[in-house]
Structure 1
Amino acid sequence: MNYTLHHLSHTDLDGYSCQMVSAHYFDSIRFYNSNYGKEINECFNQILATIQSSESQKHVILITDLNLTMDQAKEFESKVSICDKEIMMFVLDHHKTGQECADAFEWYYLDSSRCATKITYDFFSALYGKDEKLSHYVDVVNAVDIWLEDKPEFELGKVCMGLVSGAREVNKIMFPEENSKYIFALLSKAQEYFTCKEAHIALDDAIHGIKKSFFTTSKNDTLSNLVSAYNVILLTQNRDKMQISYKEYKGILTYNIGNVSVIGNDFLTANPDLDFFMDITSKKTISLRSNGKVDVSKMAAHIANGGGHHNASGGLLSNFKDAFIYDTIKSQVMSIITNKG
């Protein structure tokens, strides 16, 4: 296959599992994940921008486990048609609400009797060959996603579903590639328990250790400390892209990072030349941490009608509109700070 595959999928077990299937069959893949609504549009535009800047001329856009509206389907088809690269696009969906699009577009395939992972596996395995281990995994996902309670794989699927929904340690907006690698690693490790006696219980008991094994490097520690160390490394590697300023001070902006006290302070310790750490959430709240150089309580009061302590404060950026691409989030926050003077 001489095409570069751009695989956009949902953010649940079924969505990520579709991507695990495509990763089994292809090497040249870029993964994108989205919930429903306008987030799909933002991700699709990101895919097109990536294609336009690529040296490769041939691309495939695969959308799985996401039900497009008629307006989205029309818009995406139009944008692909005017792109100066060779692009094939197809959707593999299992939501009945996609029926109108499936009836209107030949590239939109719908089958509500199977989960999207099974549709994807059946599609690619028919072309490139079946795989027994992968087929078993697909049956586990299918059992829980379309709620087949009488299937022996159902309880195991429930544990896998919880594993994905609880995998919040790596932020998908700031670090989408690393987030995908993390979830794929968890699900790959989970399959080692599929042949255990009472596999669903064995896997459930092992989840904490599975997570820790991903983040552990030279020495063991609490999961919280391991996750913080991992995120500090990612943030440090991306600090130039994520750097913001307030008056004469320099800091870094994160989005929904979680565990701000630990990660924020660990990051500032590792990057003493930066003055503050700011995290903004989808609820418009901000959390600020400082290494002593700037009074973030005054900063919070100035830009977010907030307050707190010299080195730990918070507030609300009421003009902030939630977004799904980090650069869009950063430009908004910088604009708000600049307008505050």
Structure 2
Amino acid sequence: MLSVHHLSHIDLDGYGCQYLTRQLFDPIRCYNANYGPEVSARLDEILSNIAKERLTNPTRDILILITDLNLTTKECNALEKRAAESGAKLQLLDHHGTGASAAERFGWYFLDTSRSATKITYDWLREHYGFDPEGRNKKIVEAIDAIDIWREESPYFPYGKVLLGMISGAREINRILFPDEDRAYKLSLIDSARRILDEAPLPEAPIHLDDMLHAQKKRFFRLEHNDTKDNLVADYVTRLLSRERERMTVHYRGHKGILGYNVGSASLIGNAFLLANPDYDFYMDVNSRGNFSLRSNNKLDVSAMAAEIGKGGGHPNASGGKIENYKDSFIYDELRESIQRYIDEKSGQNSA
């Protein structure tokens, strides 16, 4: 049995690759990263998970698959060494020309600038694993390829434009806080788009997808009864926050709160969380620039808290401010620890 750890980019093309591999491989664990240091962090996460996997399955065949991301020669050298130590095989499928020098040196680094990563992955899966013999994914692959390579002459290009906006606009779930749920959401949208492309005549398909997109999003977030999309998202995210509240807890002057990251809709989600978790005194959401929102439910004057830790203010139950010398992170645990230290420093308290 082959176990696959699949790292891909965070755009339509990157998720398109994972949409395909998840149909074939089982077990498979997916990860996503933007360019820069996040790639190395996710590779560290993959190798750590492989080490744990080896404890129970020491002889299992393991593949580290990387798509729609290019690595430097230095990164490839380090990864190849660590993968060999873990007994994992490597395969990288990409189309960015910046990886040309690395592709020349490493046999597992496949580069083709003429195709999108989704198209490369699709062809690779078909060649090596006999994937999709009936071709049910061919149209969605063509649409992703047309927009990613910008083939305006392709009849699938208009549909690809809607797909591109569909994924870039799917921001309801923060991928740093809840990567698995965020990925599942985006892959569900791609799956719905594939089905529409199969059913509607190609010239009408982009309009049909655009018309149906709101309903497709609501369908994913609907857990029980129907409601407005904003309320469905708030309920969904609140449940995720409640589930993960222990690892997301912060303290301020003896009060217990939860720290979100780029969650947004602070009033709606913050108040929903506090009502669902009456043992919490405040809700805090910080964005990638260090601006934060605070909400309470008559248990803490968050205007005073905002003034003390962020030179901010507002109302007793709804305030905000900015963290001084804020350093962003794509690893939530590091972010929470850093902000807890900051709160302790500004309030002159030790975290409870």
TM-score bin, normalised by smaller chain: over 0.9
- Cα offset for 1:130? 4.1
Alignment of 1:101-250 (within 5 A): 101-131=102-132, 132-194=135-197, 195-197=199-201, 198-250=204-256
Counterpart residue identity of residue 27, structure 2: S
Gap change, CA 1:56 and 1:315, over 3 Å in 2? farther
Partners of 1:193 and 1:86 in 2: how far apart? Answer: 42
Partners of 2:283 and 2:179 in 1: how far apart? Answer: 21
Are the counterparts in 2 of residues 277 and 290 from structure 1 also a CA contact under 8 Å? Answer: yes
User: Which residue is equivalent to 1:324?
Assistant: 330
Are the counterparts in 2 of residues 94 and 112 from structure 1 also a CA contact under 8 Å? Answer: yes
Cα shift readout 1:265-289 (whole Å, capped 9, x = no counterpart): 1110111110000111111111111
- Cα offset for 1:8? 0.5
User: Which residue is equivalent to 1:24?
Assistant: 23
Answer yes or no: is 1:313 the counterpart of 2:329: no
User: Which residue is equivalent to 2:43?
Assistant: 44
Counterpart residue identity of residue 127, structure 1: H
Q: Once superposed, what is the RMSD of the aligned Cα atoms?
A: 1.3
Cα shift readout 1:71-122 (whole Å, capped 9, x = no counterpart): 32223223324x3x31112210100111011012111110011100111111
Partners of 2:80 and 2:341 in 1: how far apart? Answer: 34
Partners of 1:213 and 1:104 in 2: how far apart? Answer: 46
Structure 1 range deviating more: 296-305 or 13-22: 296-305
- Cα offset for 1:218? 2.5
Partners of 2:290 and 2:226 in 1: how far apart? Answer: 35
Give the TM-score normalised by structure 1. 0.96
SS state of the match for residue 31, structure 2? Answer: strand
Gap change, CA 1:121 and 1:174, over 3 Å in 2? same
- Cα offset for 1:260? 1.0
Partners of 2:122 and 2:90 in 1: how far apart? Answer: 17
SS state of the match for residue 247, structure 2? Answer: helix
| Aligned residue among 329, 334, 344 for 1:338 | 344
Partners of 2:251 and 2:95 in 1: how far apart? Answer: 46
SS state of the match for residue 63, structure 2? Answer: strand
Structure 1: segments with no counterpart, 5+ residues? none
SS state of the match for residue 167, structure 1? Answer: coil
Counterpart residue identity of residue 280, structure 2: L
Alignment of 1:50-65 (within 5 A): 50-54=49-53, 55-57=56-58, 58=60, 59-65=62-68
SS state of the match for residue 155, structure 2? Answer: coil
Are the counterparts in 2 of residues 320 and 332 from structure 1 also a CA contact under 8 Å? Answer: no
| Aligned residue among 264, 271, 278 for 2:277 | 271
SS state of the match for residue 133, structure 1? Answer: coil
Partners of 2:13 and 2:295 in 1: how far apart? Answer: 37
User: Which residue is equivalent to 1:80?
Assistant: 83
- Cα offset for 1:319? 2.8
Partners of 2:293 and 2:286 in 1: how far apart? Answer: 7
Query: What is the percent sequence identity of the aligned residues?
Result: 48
Partners of 1:181 and 1:152 in 2: how far apart? Answer: 28
Partners of 1:339 and 1:74 in 2: how far apart? Answer: 41
User: Which residue is equivalent to 1:8?
Assistant: 7
Partners of 1:127 and 1:326 in 2: how far apart? Answer: 37
- Cα offset for 1:193? 1.4
Are the counterparts in 1 of residues 223 and 236 from structure 2 also a CA contact under 8 Å? Answer: no
Query: Number of matched residues?
Result: 338
Partners of 1:224 and 1:262 in 2: how far apart? Answer: 9
Counterpart residue identity of residue 41, structure 2: E
SS state of the match for residue 200, structure 1? Answer: helix
Moved over 6 A (4+): none
Answer yes or no: is 1:255 the counterpart of 2:261: yes
Counterpart residue identity of residue 75, structure 1: A
Partners of 1:203 and 1:211 in 2: how far apart? Answer: 12
SS state of the match for residue 137, structure 2? Answer: helix
Give the TM-score normalised by structure 2. 0.93
Are the counterparts in 2 of residues 278 and 287 from structure 1 also a CA contact under 8 Å? Answer: yes
Are the counterparts in 1 of residues 115 and 145 from structure 2 also a CA contact under 8 Å? Answer: yes
Answer yes or no: is 1:282 the counterpart of 2:288: yes
Partners of 1:249 and 1:130 in 2: how far apart? Answer: 54
- Cα offset for 1:318? 2.0
Are the counterparts in 2 of residues 4 and 56 from structure 1 also a CA contact under 8 Å? Answer: no
